[in-house]
């Protein structure tokens, strides 16, 4: 496979295994002071169509004076203060990241992202349709608005990667012109016997430069990252009822014993104990 000559879709494998789903919960004017308490498993995405909004959360406060997007990638109580009479026109949705805390997208995003709507490349038509559907009463409106929020989420990820706006972690690596090739290769082919030399070759870098650059940008060694990606895939498979002995070969481990050893090293507990703990937390 010649990755150098191919277009590389940095989000395909991520979204296939770790999807993001939206559930709209507010459309229309938001007036006065509103506090949003969020579920421990959910993020939130707010779109300000018009109006002035003061946003307050634990990391500080800011004032929104132009149409903007507010993304909370993980649970954080926040407050909106708007004109008590006219308010601000907003569309708001909860976000569920498949895999919860194990979702690599959510874990790579900042706690909070604010972007002017007109700064999101290629999003104007989607946003126009989203607002048109959100502020009218039509058959299938909620389902359509949910899907459009999910499209906007993909466009946010594109924007952050293309502008290199994420510092550290997987998304920062996917923003790097060379490291992205190695990351996508690991995501798309987890069963491959990836060595440092092979990954460096995919990235078009020397072994030493690749290793140091990967650690500096992504925040881990390539080997540790690969193990973490494989274990995340295993966790998804276990939640879906797949037997461990079948999953082992699908993620690059030669046996159930080898997978169990790697799983415990990564999570602190054997696979079955981890699965029981997940079930007890439901």
CA distance 87 to 78: 17
Four-point Cα dihedral 107, 91, 39, 164, nearest 10: 10
Instruction: Quote the mean pLDDT of the chain.
Output: 91
β-partners of residue 112 are 72
Q: Is the per-residue pLDDT at 40 higher than 90?
A: no
Q: What 3 state SS string does 49-80 have?
A: EECCEEEEECCEEEEECCCEEEEECCCCCEEE
Q: Which SS3 state, helix, strand or coil, does residue 110 take?
A: coil
Q: Is the per-residue pLDDT at 74 higher than 80?
A: yes
Q: Is the per-residue pLDDT at 99 higher than 80?
A: no
Q: Which of 225, 174, 202 is nearest to 10 (CA)?
A: 174
Q: Tens digit of pLDDT for each residue in 100-154?
A: 767 888 888 999 999 999 999 889 999 999 999 999 988 889 999 999 999 999 9
**What are 113's two structure tokens?**
């992202």
| 71 in Cβ contact with 112 (< 8 Å) | yes
Helix (H) or strand (E) holding 23: strand 20-30
Please give the span between the terminal C-alpha atoms of the chain, in angstroms, as a whole number. 42
Q: Tens digit of pLDDT for each residue in 6-39?
A: 567 899 888 888 889 999 999 999 999 999 987 7
Q: What is the predicted pLDDT for the residue at 6?
A: 56
Q: Tens digit of pLDDT for each residue in 197-222?
A: 999 999 999 999 999 999 999 999 99
DSSP state of 118: G
Of the pLDDT bands very low, low, confident and very high (cuts 50, 70, 90), residue 59 is confident
Q: What is the predicted pLDDT for the residue at 168?
A: 82
Of the pLDDT bands very low, low, confident and very high (cuts 50, 70, 90), residue 185 is very high
Q: What is the predicted pLDDT for the residue at 282?
A: 58
Q: Which residues contact 193 (CB under 8 A, 6 or more apart)?
A: 252
Structural domains of the chain, with CATH: 12-162 (2.60.120.10), 176-280 (1.10.10.60)
């Amino acid at each position: 496979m010649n990755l150098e000559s191919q277009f590389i879709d940095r989000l395909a494998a991520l979204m296939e295994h770790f999807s993001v789903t939206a559930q709209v919960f507010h459309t229309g004017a938001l007036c006065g002071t509103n506090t949003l308490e969020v579920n421990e498993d959910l993020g939130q995405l707010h779109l300000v169509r018009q109006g002035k909004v003061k946003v307050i959360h634990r990391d500080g406060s800011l004032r929104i004076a132009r149409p903007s997007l507010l993304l909370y990638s993980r649970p954080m109580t926040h407050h909106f203060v708007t004109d008590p009479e006219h308010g601000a026109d907003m569309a708001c949705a909860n976000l569920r990241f498949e895999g919860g805390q194990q979702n690599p997208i959510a874990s790579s995003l900042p706690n909070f992202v604010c972007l002017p709507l007109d700064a999101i490349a290629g999003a104007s038509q989607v946003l126009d349709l989203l607002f048109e559907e959100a502020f009218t009463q039509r058959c299938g409106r909620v389902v359509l608005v949910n899907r459009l929020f999910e499209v906007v989420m993909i466009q946010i990820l594109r924007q952050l990667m293309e502008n290199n706006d994420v510092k550290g972690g997987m998304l920062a690596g996917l923003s790097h012109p060379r490291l992205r090739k190695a990351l996508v290769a690991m995501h798309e082919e987890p069963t491959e016997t990836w060595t440092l030399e092979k990954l460096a070759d995919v990235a078009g870098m020397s072994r030493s430069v690749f290793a140091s650059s990967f650690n500096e940008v992504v925040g881990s060694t390539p080997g540790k990252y690969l193990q973490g990606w494989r274990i995340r895939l295993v966790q998804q498979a276990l939640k879906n009822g797949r037997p461990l002995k079948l999953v082992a070969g699908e993620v690059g481990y030669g046996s159930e014993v080898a997978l169990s050893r790697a799983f415990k090293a990564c999570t602190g507990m054997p696979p079955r104990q981890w699965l029981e703990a997940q079930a007890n937390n439901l």
